[in-house]
Structure 1
Amino acid sequence: MPTPTEIRLNRAERRLEVAFDDGSRFGLPAEYLRVESPSAEVQGHGPGQKNLVHGKREVAIIGIEPVGNYAVRLTFDDLHDTGIYSWETLHRLGREYDTLWPAYLAALEEKGLSRDLRGRAAPKTTR
C-alpha cells in the first residue's frame, strides 16, 4: 500500500493535498472527505448501513492529527472528528473520486437533499 510523502492542508481551497510514494497525488476536497468519512457515523456499523451526509458544501478541515504511522484524524469545522483516515483510505478516496463523488451527488438528488446547510434541495419546477 502506498504511503504518503506529503500531507498539506490548503485552507483557502478547503482541500487536503496528499502525495504518495507511488507517485500519485490527490487534492481531496474537505466536503468529499467529510461525506465519505470512515467513521461509524457515516459508514454505519456494517455493510449496507452507510448514512447519506448532506449540508456540508462549506465544511472545512480545522485539524489534522497523526494516528501512529498509518493514519490521520481529521477535525472538521462542524466538529466531526471520529473518522480515522488510514493511508489506504486516503489513497482509495483519491483513486475513486471520479466514481464516488458523482454517486454521492446522484444520491443527494434522489433523496431531495442539498449540499447546502438548509438540507433540502429546492423543489424542481416544470413549465
Structure 2
Amino acid sequence: MSSDSKYGVASGLNPRSLYQQAGRPACTDVRYISAEKRLDVAFEDGKQFTFTAEFLRIESPSAEVQGHGPSQKTLVPGRRHVGIIGIEPVGTYALRLKFDDLHDTGLYSWEWFYDHGHSQDDLWQDYLQRLEARGLTRDPRAR
C-alpha cells in the first residue's frame, strides 16, 4: 500500500454513489495517510472526519469488540501504534479494514463513519477513562 492511499473511482469504489444510508449524506472521499496512521473521510454535506487507526481499531464494529450488545463491549488496550495494512470495499455499503495486529473482522459502514465522526471525541474520552479505571494503557505490553 502506498503512503497515501485513496479509495475512490480509481480503485473501482465510488463512495459518492454508495452512501445513502439512513438519510445521511453521501461519502465523497476516503483517504488513508499511512505515515500518520489516519483515515480521512469526507461527505457531501462538507463534513470531514479524521480517524486515527487506533480509534478505528478500539471502536471496531466487529462482534469481537462490540459483543452482541452494549454491555458486552470489549475494552481493547495497547493499540497506540496500530496501523492499517489493508482497506477493501464490501459491497456498496462498507469498508473492511485490516490492521497490523491482524484484526480484520469489522465492517465499517458509511453510516458508521458519519456517526462516529460526530461522536468520536466523547467515545475517545470514555475509552481513556475506562482504561484508567482498569489500570490499563494505550501502550502495548512489553514482552
Q: TM-score, normalised by structure 1?
A: 0.91
For residue 61 of structure 1, what is the aligned residue in structure 2? 84
How many percent identity over aligned positions?
A: 61
1:5 maps onto 2:57 in alignment = no
1:38 maps onto 2:33 in alignment = no
Residue 47 of structure 1: CA displacement? Answer: 3.0
Residue 104 of structure 1: CA displacement? Answer: 0.4
1:115 maps onto 2:138 in alignment = yes
Q: Secondary structure at the match of 2:101?
A: coil
The residue type paired with residue 90 of structure 1 is F
The residue type paired with residue 89 of structure 1 is W
C-alpha RMSD over aligned residues: 1.0
Q: Secondary structure at the match of 1:97?
A: helix
Distance 1:2 1:37 in 2: 22
For residue 16 of structure 1, what is the aligned residue in structure 2? 39
> Greater CA deviation, 1-10 or 27-36?
1-10
Residue 3 of structure 1: CA displacement? Answer: 2.2
Aligned mate of 1:48, from 46, 71, 84: 71
Q: Secondary structure at the match of 2:104?
A: coil
Q: TM-score, normalised by structure 2?
A: 0.81
Distance 2:55 2:49 in 1: 12
How many pairs does the alignment contain?
Answer: 119
- The structure with the greater share of residues assigned to helix is 2
The residue type paired with residue 79 of structure 2 is K
Q: What are structure 1's unaligned runs of at least 5 residues?
A: 120-127
Distance 2:65 2:92 in 1: 24
